[in-house]
Chain A
Amino acid sequence: MSEAALAAPPGLAAPPRGGHAVFWGGAALLAVALIAALRLLHNDYAWFAGYFILQYVVLASAWNLLGGYAGYVNFGAAGFMAAGAYTTIVLRKALGLDLLPCIAAAACVSGLLGLGMGWLTLRLRGVYFAIATLSLAVVLHTIIVNWDYVGGSRGAYVVPSRDTAPFVTHGEYVFVVMLVLAVLAVGIARMVEKSRLGLGLAAIRDDERAAEAAGVPTLRLKLIATTLSGALMGVAGAPLPHYSAYLNPEAAFSLAYGVNAIAMPLIGGAGTWAGPVIGALLLGTLQQAATVMISSALNLLVVGCVLVAFVALAPHGIIGLFRGARR
């Protein structure tokens, strides 16, 4: 092995330490700046709009871990998210737990769901996994609807805590929580992408059989991705009962979550950590504006059309368009 070979191409050997510091530092700065800016606005609605978009950043990043990185489509994102939301409701009611411990618990519950379902179906082709995720969402929905402790189809109320210091309002509180979660989720997605796990998942996405023949433990990697993805989706849903003090199954299992979880990464650019962020920011803002200005049905129609247009014409998403333009 010559010196030249060792010094050769960056690829994975790209300077990680510098890159990571830049990301986390930059994200922290951005977050602080965002909070300061919104405080200056003195508009409570801004916190809620921001939360709406940030939860999608988490959800889309989570979906992408399995969908974009490994190529396994999860149609039941709403189920994982609702599992997180209802974990919060149950723990609040049973043990009076505050939001932060509930988030941790939600991660465990949804992570276990992901692991269980993956274990059941990941030995089969990707399409069976996709259908199974849909089934899981329906099963969970049915269980919740029939479960009186959490209010069944009538829904449940969560009394928001009075003391929200050092935050000015309750809205700011949930926003900041979700902001932190979003930074964490994107950071995790970025670390996975640049790690050995990320390359293994990419190999699985490109050609699973070849990956197996090359020594990649495909089942194990897929299970890790499914668990992590599920956990983060649960985390995205955990603060939901605090955000809207009332939650019913129809809202928790809303189709909007399911479709956006797929549309946002694909439109932004699946396969990299930045794509879901772009997709969430873009589509999230679009939908907020649309819901306010037109009907919510129309805004979902727009999402559907944009999704179809993008998968057909720009399969690598917005990021792919930029990369293509550069060459």
Chain B
Amino acid sequence: MTEPLLRASGVGKRFGGFVALAEIDLDLQNGERLGLIGPNGSGKSTFVNCLGGVFPSHDGSIAFAGHALHGLAPHRRARLGLARTFQLPRPFAGMTVLENVTVPLLYTGTPNAAEATARAYACLEQVDLAPRARLLPRQLSQVELRRLELARAIALNPSLLIADEAMAGLSHSEVDQILALLFRLNAAGTAVIMIEHVMRAVTEFSERLVVFVAGRKIADGTPRDVLAMPEVEEAYLGTRAAA
């Protein structure tokens, strides 16, 4: 068996007395499509923040692309190819859409300004934002902001993309847009962890589904198997009806 792209072992995180995450073991292979679901407050975002380096101190260990991530600052993880988007889009509000995507390129291997700008434009083309390149983020629609987040992540040439609720609040066709983007990205070789509440997207996209409840992993398998589990249905009362 090949070395997994991502290996989380015994990851846990406490805030004072509150246990947000406990004993999470998770492996991810190259190019895999993993869905991560769970009720609000189940620790999904905490887990993402541990992966991303926002919470530098946590129990357990995380290895990515053969590197131990312990002690690595977020920007170093990004350089290793670990990209993430944020639940609420966080664009750089004071600069153009194009400059938003130029920033990561400048700092991850393309220090030449002209070259970085050209590559940024290409990333924008991948997410169909090229016509909006000279606008400011506040002039973009919600789904366009999500695409900008993805463009910024793509600029890192990631081997893993963590899409944190990238489809929250979007319409049916907008969800399809984002889904198509993620499929394209995955086809090019990027593993994707999709954290979502939009069940349709998760079931369509994931090869594998993981469920967090109250900071623990309670299920890990194919979407069909996992969604059939009584514990999962219990944690997600009404899931079947909503999907």
Query: Contact residues of A with B, CB < 8 Å?
Result: 1, 5-6, 8-9, 11-13, 196, 199-200, 202-203, 205-207, 209-219, 271
Give A323 Cβ to nearest chain B Cβ, in Å: 12
Q: Is the beta-carbon distance between B133 and A203 smaller than 8 angstroms?
A: no
- Residues of A with C-beta under 8 A to B113: 12-13, 196
Cα separation A8 to B156 with both chains bound (whole Å) = 21
Minimum CB distance partner of B86 in chain A: A210
- Take A8-B121, A209-B54, A216-B75 as given contacts and tell me if A199 and B156 are in contact as well, using a CB distance cutoff of 8 Å: no
- Take A211-B103, A215-B79 as given contacts and tell me if A203 and B117 are in contact as well, using a CB distance cutoff of 8 Å: no
Per DSSP, are chain A's interface residues mostly helix, strand or loop, or mixed? helix
B199 within 8 A of A: no
Residue of B94, B99, B108 near A215 (CB, 8 A) is: B108
Query: Contact residues of B with A, CB < 8 Å?
Result: 52-54, 73-75, 78-79, 83-84, 86, 90-96, 98-99, 102-104, 106-108, 111, 113-114, 116-119, 121-122, 125, 130, 133-134, 152, 155-156
Per DSSP, are chain B's interface residues mostly helix, strand or loop, or mixed? helix
Give A292 Cβ to nearest chain B Cβ, in Å: 39
Give A125 Cβ to nearest chain B Cβ, in Å: 14
Cα separation A271 to B152 with both chains bound (whole Å) = 23
- Residues of B with C-beta under 8 A to A218: 75
Q: Is the beta-carbon distance between A206 and B99 smaller than 8 angstroms?
A: no
Q: Is the beta-carbon distance between B107 and A214 smaller than 8 angstroms?
A: yes
Residue of A199, A205, A217, A271 near B102 (CB, 8 A) is: A199
Minimum CB distance partner of B84 in chain A: A213
Q: Is the beta-carbon distance between A11 and B106 smaller than 8 angstroms?
A: no
Residue of A5, A12, A210, A216 near B99 (CB, 8 A) is: A12
Residue of B83, B107, B118, B155 near A8 (CB, 8 A) is: B118
Cα separation A213 to B80 with both chains bound (whole Å) = 11
Q: Which has the most chain A C-beta neighbours within 10 Å: B79, B103, B108, B122?
A: B103
- Residues of B with C-beta under 8 A to A209: 54, 74, 86, 90
Q: Is the beta-carbon distance between B102 and A12 smaller than 8 angstroms?
A: yes
